[in-house]
C-alpha cells in the first residue's frame, strides 16, 4: 500500500517541507541507514535514542538515493533541495502514530500476542497452522518493540485476511503505544514469568501492563492454571477463552502423555472430548501448542484439520544462523520462515560477510496467497545486492523466471527440493557464502545438511546479536565524542576474527585492534575496511603491514628506527602509526624518561604520522588499585603533553580498557579499547552492566553407562565411584580447550537444568560426568560447557585462571556457529 508524502505528513501530523523531487510515493519505512533496499519509495525516519541520533545519517541515506525524510529538525545548511522533509516534535511518536493510522484502514481480524516467553513461537506456529485458511501478515522475527511493532504494522495491506503481531515491553508505560498500533481483535497471553522484569517492581505490575494490550479486544485467550493470571484477567472486561485443567474452563485439559518423542493431549471443548498430538515433549512446547489449539477452535478450524496440522508442527528456530560448510564455504540458514521483510534482513546479513567474495542465494517459492508483485520485490532486492548466483526451488519461481533472467546473476531453477538434491552435489559450491531462504514446506533443512560440514559434535555458538548488544552497552557509557576501538585479537577471543570484525564494521566502530600482522592481513582479505592497529610488531611484519594498510604499534626506539628505515627505503611518507607508552604495566612501551628524545625524533621526520598515543592499565578492574590507576593516568597525560607540544598536530589518546570504560569515565580521553566486555564478560561486576552471553560451548553425550560402587573411571583409576552411578561420556577433552584441571569433580557441566560434576581425569578428546541424579538423560543429549546457564567466569574460577584463557583456548577444530536473533 502506498501513500503520497502529503498523506504521510497529514497522518503523522507533521509539517511538510517540499523539495523539487518528483518522487512522492511512500511504500517502505526505514529506520536503519544500513538497510535500504528501495530508496526511491522509502521514507527514512531519523529516530533519536540514548545511543545515537539518526539525523547524523541523513547525508549517507541521501547518497543512497532516499529523498523522503521524517525528522525532528531540518539539516543545518540544508542543501537537499530535491528532498522532502516532514518535521515533527518527536520522530518516534510520529512513526507510531503513522502506523496506528495505517492500522485503521483494515477491518480483518488481528491477533495480538504478549507474555514473558513464547510470543514468537506461538506467532510462528499460528502462522503454520492457519496459513491454509488465511492470507496472513505477521511480525517479522521478534519485531515486538516500540520500533519493531510499527515496522510490522506497516506491512498490513488489503490482500491480507488475518494479522498476527507480538508485543514486548521492558518497562512501565510502553504498552499503550503498542496497543494503539496493533489494536488486536483477538488477544493471547502466553504466560507471565521473570524474563524482562528489570523495569517492573513486581510480576503483578508487569502482568497488569501486559494486559493493557487487550483493551478493546473481542476475545482474550489465557491460561487459568496460573492463579495470578486468573485473578488479573477477570478485571479486564474482555470476553475470555480460558484454558486450564479445572472444570469450567473453555478448553479443559484432561491429560498430556509422552509417546515416542511426541505428546498426546486430551481436552474438552463445548462438552466434546478431543485430542491432538504434537511432535514435542518439553513443557513449554506443550503449553504453546495448547494455546494455538484454542485459537484454532475459536476460529472454526475442524478437529480433523487441527489434528492433521498439529502432528506436523515444525520447530521454530528464531535465529539467522551461519555455519561452516564444505569446500571453504559457509551456509546462512534462515529457512524457518519466508516473507519479504525477513528476506531483506537475511540479504543484508549475507552482504556483511565480506570474507566471501562469491554470494549465492537459494530460495523457495513464497508461501501461498503471496501476490506476483512480491516476487518482483524479491527479484529487485537480489539485483540491488549484487548476488552472484540465484537458485530457486518451486514452480512459482519457474513461471516467473523472466524476473530473474534479466539479472546479471547466474540463475538455476528446480521444481522441488528433491530435484535440487538429485541434480546437485557439494562440488557445485566452493569458497562462497550461501543463503538458504525457504518456506517450511520445502524442507530446506535437507539442503543445509548436505552443505554443512559434518565434523566435531562439539559446537561453539556465537550470538552476534548479543555481541552488538554488548557493544551498545558500552557505547552508551561513553562521553560525547569519545571513539571506540574493538579488540579482535586471538581469533576474536575465540569467537572468530572476521565474523566479529564484520559486526563491528556494520555498527561503525572507529578502530579494530589485532595482536599480530597476519591477523590484520586476514581481516583485510575478509573485506574489512576499518583502520586496524597491530599491537605486536617486528621487522618481519613490515612488508605485510604496508601492503595491507595496517597501522603498527611502535613501542621502543629500535622498532621505531627500524620502521623509519623501512619507510625511507620504500619511499613512503606520513605513514600512520601508534605510539605505545609504559606507564606502569611494564610490558611494552616508551617510558616517561624517553619523552624528550622521542619527541625530538618524531619532530624531525616526515615519514610517520602519529595517529594515537596510548598506554595499558595494569589493574583497572580493582578498586583497591585505583590510586595506582590514577598514577598511570597522570604519567600518561604528562607524556602526551610532551608529544603534543613537539608534533603540533592532534592525535588520539586512549588508555581505558573494558573495565575502565564504566568504572573510571574520567579516563576515557579521545578513545577507549573494548575487549573482554564485548564478549559478555564484565571483569568488574560492580558495573551492573546488562551484558549478554556471546559464546556458548556445547557438546553431546556419546555414551551412557552404569558403573557400580567401588569401580573407577578414566586414566590412572582416579575417578573413584562411591555409589552405583550413571556416567555420561562427553565429546570434548583437553585438546578442545577443556582443562585437565577441571577433572576429579572440580569442574561441572549443565545438563537438563542441573550442574553435574566431572568424574576422573579429563581425556584428550573425551571426558566423563556423573548424571545419576538427572532424570531422562539420553545419548546425544546436548550439554552446556559454558554459556547462559554456566558462565565462563565460573569455569575459569574452577580452572584457577581467567575467562580470557578459557575463551581463547577453545580449539580450532571446534565448529563455530554464528547466529542473529
Cell numbers representing residue 371 in the block = 501476490
Cell numbers representing residue 312 in the block = 506436523
Q: DSSP of 182-227, one letter per residue?
A: H--SEEEE----STT-TBSS-HHHHHHHHHGGGTT-SEEEEETTSH
Residue count of the chain: 821
Closest listed residue to residue 563, CA positions, set 605, 515, 513, 614: 605
Report the distance separating Cα 820 and Cα 465, nearest Å: 5
* Cβ atoms of 238 and 210 closer than 8 Å: no
At residue 501's C-alpha, the angle toward residues 507 and 47, to 5°, is 5
Report the distance separating Cα 723 and Cα 709, nearest Å: 4
Residue 449 vs residues 326, 329, 419, 549, 725: alpha-carbon distances, Å: 11, 14, 16, 39, 36
Alpha-carbon Rg of the chain, whole angstroms? 29
Report the distance separating Cα 624 and Cα 704, nearest Å: 48
Cell numbers representing residue 443 in the block = 524442507
Q: Which residues contact 74 (CB under 8 A, 6 or more apart)?
A: 17, 85, 87
Report the distance separating Cα 551 and Cα 578, nearest Å: 7
Cell numbers representing residue 278 in the block = 504434537
Closest listed residue to residue 796, CA positions, set 786, 811, 788: 786
The β-bridge relationship of strands 754-759 and 389-393 is unpaired
Binding positions for substrate = 587, 764
Report the distance separating Cα 114 and Cα 141, nearest Å: 14
Report the distance separating Cα 46 and Cα 581, nearest Å: 41
* Cβ atoms of 477 and 386 closer than 8 Å: no
First vs last C-alpha separation in the chain? 28
Q: Phi first, then psi: what are they for 48, rounded to 5°? A: -105, 130
Catalytic residue selected from 18, 311, 525, 715: 715
User: Strand order of the sheet with strand 251-259?
Assistant: 136-138, 162-166, 110-114, 186-189, 219-223, 240-244, 251-259, 262-269, 272-278
Burial of 328 (0-12, 13-18, 19+ CB in 10 A): exposed
* Cβ atoms of 95 and 12 closer than 8 Å: yes
Catalytic residue selected from 489, 575, 734, 748: 489
Cα torsion at 201, 204, 205, 209 (round to 10°)? Answer: 150
Q: Phi first, then psi: what are they for 679, rounded to 5°? A: -95, 10
Residue/partner pairs of 627-636 with CB below 8 Å, 24 or more apart = 628/584, 629/660, 629/664, 629/667, 631/583, 631/584, 632/583, 632/584, 632/585, 633/583, 633/667, 635/581, 635/583, 635/584, 635/592, 636/581, 636/583
Q: DSSP of 47-87, one letter per residue?
A: -B-SS-BGGGGHHHHHHTT--EEEESSPPTT---TT-EEEE
Helices (DSSP H) in 353-401: which residue ranges? 372-384, 395-399
> Is residue 715 among the annotated active site residues?
yes
Q: E strands along 260-294, which residues? A: 262-269, 272-278
* Cβ atoms of 39 and 82 closer than 8 Å: no
Report the distance separating Cα 124 and Cα 144, nearest Å: 13
Closest listed residue to residue 629, CA positions, set 680, 684, 553: 684
Active-site amino acid positions: 489, 715
Amino acid at each position: 500500500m502506498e501513500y503520497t508524502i502529503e498523506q504521510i505528513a497529514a497522518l503523522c501530523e507533521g509539517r511538510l517541507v517540499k523539495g523539487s523531487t518528483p518522487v512522492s510515493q511512500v511504500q517502505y519505512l526505514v529506520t536503519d541507514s544500513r538497510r535500504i533496499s528501495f530508496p526511491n519509495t522509502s521514507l527514512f525516519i531519523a529516530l533519536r535514542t540514548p545511543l545515537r541520533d539518526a539525523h547524523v545519517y541523513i547525508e549517507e541515506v541521501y547518497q543512497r538515493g532516499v529523498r523522503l525524510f521524517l525528522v525532528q529538525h531540518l539539516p543545518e545548511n540544508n542543501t537537499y533541495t530535491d528532498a522532502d522533509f516532514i518535521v515533527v516534535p518527536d520522530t518516534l511518536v510520529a512513526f507510531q502514530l503513522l502506523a496506528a493510522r495505517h492500522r485503521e484502514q483494515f477491518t480483518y481480524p488481528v491477533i495480538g500476542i504478549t507474555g514473558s516467553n513464547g510470543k514468537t513461537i506461538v506467532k510462528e506456529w499460528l502462522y503454520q497452522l492457519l496459513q491454509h485458511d488465511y492470507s496472513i501478515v505477521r511480525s517479522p522475527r521478534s519485531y515486538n518493540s516500540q520500533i519493531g511493532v510499527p515496522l510490522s504494522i506497516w506491512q498490513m495491506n488489503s490482500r491480507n485476511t488475518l494479522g498476527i503481531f507480538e508485543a514486548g515491553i521492558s518497562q512501565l508505560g510502553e504498552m499503550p503505544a503498542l496497543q494503539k498500533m496493533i489494536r488486536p481483535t483477538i488477544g493471547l497471553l502466553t504466560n507471565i514469568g521473570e524474563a524482562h522484569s528489570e523495569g517492573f517492581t513486581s510480576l503483578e505490575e508487569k502482568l497488569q501492563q501486559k494486559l493493557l494490550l487487550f483493551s478493546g479486544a473481542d476475545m482474550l485467550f489465557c491460561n487459568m492454571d496460573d492463579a495470578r493470571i486468573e485473578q488479573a484477567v477477570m478485571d479486564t472486561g474482555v470476553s475470555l477463552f480460558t484454558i486450564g485443567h479445572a472444570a469450567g474452563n473453555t478448553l479443559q485439559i484432561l491429560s498430556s502423555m509422552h509417546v515416542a518423542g511426541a505428546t498426546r493431549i486430551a481436552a474438552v471443548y463445548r462438552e466434546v472430548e478431543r485430542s491432538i498430538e504434537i511432535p514435542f515433549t518439553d513443557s513449554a512446547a506443550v503449553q504453546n501448542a495448547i494455546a494455538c489449539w484454542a485459537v484454532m477452535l475459536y476460529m472454526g478450524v475442524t478437529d480433523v484439520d487441527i489434528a492433521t496440522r498439529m502432528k506436523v508442527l515444525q520447530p521454530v528456530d528464531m535465529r539467522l544462523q551461519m555455519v561452516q560448510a564444505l569446500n571453504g564455504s559457509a551456509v546462512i540458514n534462515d529457512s524457518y520462515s519466508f516473507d519479504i521483510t525477513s528476506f531483506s534482513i537475511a540479504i543484508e546479513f549475507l552482504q556483511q560477510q565480506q570474507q566471501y567474495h562469491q554470494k549465492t542465494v537459494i530460495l523457495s517459492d513464497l508461501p501461498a496467497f503471496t501476490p506476483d508483485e512480491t516476487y518482483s520485490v524479491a527479484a529487485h532486492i537480489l539485483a540491488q545486492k549484487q548476488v552472484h548466483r540465484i537458485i530457486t526451488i518451486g514452480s512459482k519461481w519457474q513461471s516467473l523466471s523472466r524476473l530473474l533472467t534479466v539479472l546479471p546473476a547466474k540463475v538455476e531453477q528446480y521444481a522441488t527440493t528433491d530435484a535440487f538434491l538429485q541434480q546437485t552435489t557439494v562440488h557445485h559450491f566452493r569458497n562462497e557464502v550461501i543463503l538458504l531462504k525457504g518456506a517450511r514446506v520445502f524442507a530446506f533443512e535437507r539442503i543445509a545438511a548436505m552443505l554443512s560440514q559434518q565434523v566435531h559434535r562439539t559446537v561453539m555458538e556465537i550470538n552476534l546479536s548479543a555481541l552488538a548488544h554488548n557493544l551498545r552497552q558500552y557505547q552508551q557509557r561513553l562521553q560525547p565524542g569519545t571513539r571506540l576501538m574493538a579488540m579482535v585479537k586471538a581469533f576474536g577471543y575465540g569467537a572468530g576474527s572476521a565474523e566479529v570484525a564484520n559486526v563491528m564494521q556494520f555498527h561503525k566502530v572507529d578502530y579494530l585492534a589485532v595482536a599480530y600482522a597476519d591477523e590484520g592481513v586476514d581481516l583485510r582479505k575478509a573485506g574489512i575496511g576499518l583502520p586496524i592497529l597491530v599491537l605486536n610488531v617486528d621487522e618481519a611484519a613490515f612488508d605485510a603491514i604496508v601492503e595491507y594498510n595496517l597501522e603498527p604499534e611502535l613501542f621502543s626506539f629500535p622498532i621505531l628506527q627500524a620502521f623509519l628505515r623501512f619507510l625511507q627505503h620504500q619511499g613512503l611518507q606520513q605513514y600512520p602509526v601508534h605510539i605505545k607508552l609504559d606507564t606502569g604495566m611494564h610490558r611494552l612501551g616508551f617510558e616517561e624518561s624517553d619523552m624528550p628524545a622521542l619527541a625530538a625524533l618524531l619532530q624531525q621526520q616526515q615519514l610517520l604520522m602519529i595517529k594515537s598515543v596510548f598506554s595499558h592499565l595494569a589493574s583497572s578492574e580493582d578498586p583497591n588499585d585505583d590510586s595506582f590507576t590514577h598514577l598511570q593516568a597522570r604519567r600518561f597525560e604528562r607524556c602526551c603533553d610532551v608529544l603534543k607540544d613537539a608534533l603540533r598536530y592532534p592525535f588520539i589518546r586512549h588508555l581505558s580498557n573494558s573495565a575502565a570504560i564504566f568504572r573510571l569515565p574520567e579516563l576515557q580521553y579521545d578513545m577507549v579499547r573494548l575487549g573482554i566486555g564485548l564478549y559478555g564478560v564484565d571483569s568488574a561486576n560492580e558495573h551492573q552492566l546488562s551484558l549478554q552471553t556471546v559464546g556458548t560451548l556445547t557438546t553431546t553425550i556419546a555414551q551412557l553407562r552404569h558403573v557400580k560402587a567401588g569401580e573407577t573411571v578414566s586414566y590412572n583409576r582416579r575417578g573413584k565411584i562411591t555409589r552405583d552411578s550413571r556416567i555420561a561420556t562427553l565429546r570434548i577433552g583437553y585438546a578442545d580447550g577443556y582443562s585437565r584441571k577441571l577433572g576429579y569433580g572440580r569442574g561441572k557441566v549443565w545438563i537438563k537444568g542441573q550442574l553435574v560434576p566431572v568424574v576422573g581425569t579429563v581425556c584428550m578428546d573425551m571426558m566423563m560426568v556423573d548424571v545419576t541424579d538427572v532424570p531422562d538423560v539420553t545419548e546425544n543429549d546436548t550439554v552446556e560447557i559454558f554459556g547462559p546457564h554456566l558462565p565462563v567466569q565460573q569455569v575459569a574460577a574452577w580452572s584457577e585462571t581467567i575467562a580470557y584463557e578459557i575463551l581463547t583456548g577453545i580449539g580450532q577444530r571446534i565448529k563455530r556457529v554464528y547466529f542473529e536473533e
